[in-house]
Homo-oligomer: A and B are copies of this chain.
Amino acid sequence: ECLPDVERLKRSSWTLLHTITTAYPTEPMPTQQEEMKTFMRMFSKINPCWCCVEDFRAWMSRPENNVSKYVQRRKTFGKWLCDAHNDVVENIGGGSDACVLRISI
């Protein structure tokens, strides 16, 4: 229960992260934007998925992926995470579970 294999860990992490983006306000207040930026930055440091932590961190550190501008709206934040997912999954040789924007944003 407490020590999942890496596939389960990856699935769990993405499930939680995508749900976080769908629960994010459509037009978040500045405080909520700050909290979400801080959460994502902390997550990029403590992400326990040893197979993707470096790729995710590298992706987030690219200027064009700076989370600050994307947390201004639910729609852009959700897209940002799907882009991260697709990019990180591609880097680790996956592809079949790449995120598809099937949610109503």
Contact = CB atoms under 8 A, between A and B. Distances in A.
A16 B12 contact: yes
Nearest to A20: B48
Contacts of A8: 15
Interface string A1-40: 1111000110111011011101110000000000110110
Contact of A9 (B1, B19, B38, B48): B19
Q: How many copies does the complex hold?
A: 2
A35 B43 CA distance: 9
Chain A interface residue number, banded: 20 to 34
A92 interface: no
B16 A48 contact: yes
Given A9-B16, A15-B9, A16-B9, A23 B4 contact: no
Contact of A100 (B1, B100, B101): B1
A19 B43 contact: no
27 contacts: A1-B18, A1-B97, A1-B99, A2-B19, A2-B22, A2-B99, A2-B102, A3-B19, A4-B15, A9-B15, A9-B16, A11-B12, A12-B12, A12-B13, A12-B15, A13-B16, A16-B16, A19-B48, A24-B46, A35-B42, A35-B45, A36-B46, A38-B38, A38-B42, A39-B42, A39-B45, A42-B42
